[in-house]
Amino acid sequence: MRKLIRRLFAGTTPEPPPAELWRQVRARVPWIAALDVERDQRLQLLAARFLRDKTITPVAGLSLDEAQRTLLAALCCLPLLEFGAEGLHGWSQLIVYPDAFRVNRTHVDAAGVLHEWDDELIGESWESGPLILSWADIEADLDEPDAGFCVAVHEMAHKLDALDGVLDGTPPLPRAWQKQWARDFQRAFDAFADEVDREHETAIDPYAAEAPEEFFAVCSEYHFSDPQALREAMPAVAEHLRKFYGEFAIGER
């Protein structure tokens, strides 16, 4: 049924969210409240497309009202203001847990031994499946919008990264920019991973050293929530993200 609906509405522009709901979103999300009129209107249309095309599924006893669903759509679309609605392709569901959730992991090592364990997560993005978020952590991010964290942006960065079929920390870009991006990000990632390996204190969350794709996602969080720290630590990375996402620093235009 949803596929039929998408075909029927393909190429149409959905109506923006009701004004009162959007007022509530702006009041709760400082990054959105700082947008100028043109970019705010663009975000409204992206959020409307998200609400039309994606299924938002609360689980484990969580209930979400219309205002909360609109807020989730707006947060997920923040990283798409420059990239566009193409960033929503390839998946259809947002699953929302009330809090952190457990995921069972398995891995077979080089010796053929199966290892199994549980991870506790606040968000996850499956390459061709749903995006998963913790509502409690969404709210915590909004309570401290300059603390360096935004789980919705982190997981949406993974969705953008995966659009070219390779999860490697480089989203689809024009060829010349892609080469420069890959060079600058690899250089910054290598230097950062070395600092973490040496157990040096870092301005950026050490989790960014896990892999190039996590480096991109974590730096994306800082672009929105602590851009000054990102600029001071990794100016070349910060400039790429400013171009890719646009300006979002609270109080900056």
What are the boundaries of each domain within the chain?
2-245
Q: Please state the pTM of the whole predicted model.
A: 0.88
In CATH terms, the superfamily for domain 2-245 is Glucose-regulated metallo-peptidase M90, N-terminal domain (1.10.472.150)
pLDDT recorded at residue 109:
53
pLDDT recorded at residue 113:
59
pLDDT recorded at residue 106:
53
55 alpha-carbon distance from chain centroid? 17
Question: 173: burial class by Cβ within 10 Å (0-12, 13-18, 19+)?
Answer: middle
Kind of pairing between the strands at 55-58 and 93-97? parallel
Find the length of the chain. Answer: 253
pLDDT recorded at residue 123:
76
3-state secondary structure of 205: coil
Distances (CA, A) of 114 to 106, 110, 118: 7, 10, 14
pLDDT recorded at residue 10:
52
Walking along the chain (253 residues) 10 residues at a time, the average pLDDT comes out as: 44 88 97 95 98 97 97 98 96 94 55 54 78 97 96 97 95 97 98 97 97 98 96 98 86 42
pLDDT recorded at residue 105:
44
> H or E element: which one contains 57?
strand 55-58
